[in-house]
Amino acid sequence: MTNFPKALKRYLPILTWSRDYNRDAFISDAVAAVIVTIMLIPQSLAYALLAGLPAEMGLYASILPLVAYAVFGTSRALAVGPVAVVSLMTAAAIGNLGLTDAASVALAAGTLAFMSGALLTVMGVMRLGFLANFLSHPVIAGFITASGLLIATSQLKHIFGVETHGHTLPQILGSLLSHLGDMSLPTLVIGVSTTAFLFWVRKGLKPMLLGFGLKPRLADLGAKAGPVAAVAVTTLAVWGLGLQNWGVKIVGAVPQGLPPLKMPSFSPSLWSDLFVSAVLISVIGFVESVSVAQTLAAKKRQRIEPDQELIGLGTSNIAAAVTGGYPVTGGFARSVVNFDAGAETPAAGAFTAIGILLAALLLTPLLYFLPKATLAATIIVAVLSLVDFSLLKRAWGYSKVDFAAVAATILLTLGFGVEIGVSAGVLISIALHLYATSRPHVAEVGLVPNTQHFRNIHRHAVETLPHVVTLRVDESLYFANARFLEDYVSARVVCDEPLSDVILMFSAVNEVDLSALESLEALNLKLKDMGIRLHLSEVKGPVMDRLKRSHFLADLTGHIYLSQYDAWIALKG
């Protein structure tokens, strides 16, 4: 029972930060919430349409999930809600089901959020956050770049006012080109002008407001309100000019009121169809969210708990599922805005939820004439910041293997869709790790004159002993590389020199698994038959503890030396 309060604080971080909550923190959080709310309203609507869902589901996914994260999350600045990449993955997952009924689509989206939330929560309780490390950063960056391009391209249909289909770049572009003859000129004018305005808002509006004499905080608020202004102006234009009668597609009726309380489906067939998608959405959402949270926490010398973040995101998704939403995660853009606006605690997210709730209660009737082209412009401007092809140039110059991984992820995502792309990314990440560690760097070393240090004989002027070969193993030994080391040593000792001893320098070896142990035993016997003794030096404590539980040390023909210099002195004569 003495550990109960500690465990409670671990699973409920709100008990920690709320203890010191004060008036200054409240004001900072409230101001940040106002700014993020203004930004989040049009984004939530847009991302719901990107996911192929009714616009109001974006608002619903931005209310209770924020409250859940405020209770269970550890980041002081992370803003949870619908994001572009997860929305695209949701669209792909539900599109594969072949549903046509709007209610069935909404139910499937809620079920997907519930499954993702359950997976994340279980992973958090079991402390499995480390699994996300198997996704390499280059692969994730390549996937996000491809997804950003895919999302922007998919929204061109709303800019041109035509119908398209497909989830891959060739499909979308082919469908778009075949329907260009059906283009709506009023829609094109709204879409292009809104996109141009939003691009200008990102860079030009704040300096202009500062030039007019506004204070920095007000100028920043005005700049963040740019998308809201675009929504208001284009909605008024459609309503006043009756542009919906000229081919401009509008959002239409958005239900007014509180988010509905509903249960996800527990149909085994639906769960089976959505399981892989739920896993991929969970992993990508967690990696994206934790990356943002860690970056922002480091700026204030704070820290987050990745395992608890799993629980925070998991409960947020479960909250979305039971209140008419769809999968959510921490968004990069809105989290940076939240941080820059001065958010001090996760309470800023709860205050943002109140703002979105008021919008759902009071503003939804005003969105009837909102053109879909405006929301598409909002998405395009937001996601193009994710596209970074300079990564290919950096990867090519640094590592051809990483370049191949990034290029493959981008091409597979664009050519075959987000699920194939991210699945391939996971497999490529694991394959890269296995490849890199299956051929560990092994350096033959010698003594640096007048020191006790040993360095690579091909890089430094060092002293060597003609009858002794010292090999430094720069990787842990496990099943994938055990045979490589065995073959490497066997090849090295076949020479004209009268060798009597081989030393394996284990200063960089943190693990020796059973396969590697068997290879070491085989190597020891092979060298014994050749009249060569095998020695180990600088073996770490945990590795030695494992070796002591085997017969290897008893059968070893040589000795275990505390340091490589001790081995050098002992064998020099």
pLDDT tens-digit readout, 452-477: 999 999 999 999 999 999 999 999 99
Q: Report d(CA 568, CA 467) in Å as an integer.
A: 11
Q: Is the pLDDT of residue 6 over 70?
A: no
Q: Report d(CA 506, CA 536) in Å as an integer.
A: 7
Beta bridge partners of 250: 371
Least confidently predicted of 299-303, 416-420, 439-443, 459-463: 299-303
Least confidently predicted of 7-11, 40-44, 228-232, 498-502: 7-11
Give residue for tokens 């959405």.
281
Q: Is the pLDDT of residue 322 over 90?
A: yes
Least confidently predicted of 277-291, 317-331, 422-436, 527-541: 422-436
Residue 445: per-residue pLDDT? 96
Comparing CA positions, the residue from 552, 549, 494 lying closest to residue 527 is 494
Confidence category of residue 388, pLDDT binned at 50, 70, 90: confident
Residue 1: per-residue pLDDT? 43
Mean pLDDT (whole number) for 9-32: 83
Mean pLDDT (whole number) for 227-236: 91
Confidence category of residue 485, pLDDT binned at 50, 70, 90: very high
Mean pLDDT (whole number) for 489-500: 87
Beta bridge partners of 463: 447
Helices (H) and strands (E) in the chain, counts: 27, 8
pLDDT tens-digit readout, 67-76: 999 999 988 8
Residue 338: per-residue pLDDT? 82
Mean pLDDT (whole number) for 250-260: 89
Mean pLDDT (whole number) for 270-299: 88
Q: What average pLDDT does the structure give for the chain?
A: 89
Confidence category of residue 23, pLDDT binned at 50, 70, 90: confident
Q: Is the pLDDT of residue 510 over 90?
A: yes
Cβ neighbors of 248 (< 8 A, separation 6 or more) are: 161, 184, 186, 187, 190, 238, 371, 373
Cβ neighbors of 456 (< 8 A, separation 6 or more) are: 443, 444, 445, 472
Q: Is the pLDDT of residue 341 over 80?
A: no
Residue that wins the pLDDT comparison between 336 and 234: 234
Least confidently predicted of 6-15, 178-187, 330-339: 6-15
Residue 2: per-residue pLDDT? 47
Beta bridge partners of 561: 537
Give residue for tokens 């692969």.
139
Q: Is the pLDDT of residue 357 over 60?
A: yes
Residue 261's Cβ-count burial label (10 Å; 0-12, 13-18, 19+) is: exposed
DSSP per residue, 3-68? THHHHHHHH-THHHHGGG--HHHHHHHHHHHHHHHHHHHHHHHHHHHHTTS-THHHHHTTTHHHHH
Q: Report d(CA 395, CA 130) in Å as an integer.
A: 25
DSSP per residue, 225-291? THHHHHHHHHHHHHHHHTGGGGT--B------SSPPP-PPP--HHHHHHHHHHHHHHHHHHHHHHHH
Contact by Cβ (8 Å): 175, 165:
yes
Mean pLDDT (whole number) for 527-531: 94
Mean pLDDT (whole number) for 28-49: 88
Comparing CA positions, the residue from 79, 103, 108 lying closest to residue 91 is 108
Q: Report d(CA 363, CA 356) in Å as an integer.
A: 10
Contact by Cβ (8 Å): 120, 310:
yes
Residue 7: per-residue pLDDT? 63
444 sits in which H/E element: strand 442-447
Mean pLDDT (whole number) for 309-326: 95
Residue 3: per-residue pLDDT? 56
Give residue for tokens 């149909």.
267
Mean pLDDT (whole number) for 168-178: 91
Confidence category of residue 140, pLDDT binned at 50, 70, 90: confident
Q: Is the pLDDT of residue 378 over 50?
A: yes
Residue 4: per-residue pLDDT? 52
Contact by Cβ (8 Å): 439, 481:
yes
User: The tokens of 91 are what?
Assistant: 């669209």
Give residue for tokens 């940076």.
336
Residue 433: per-residue pLDDT? 78
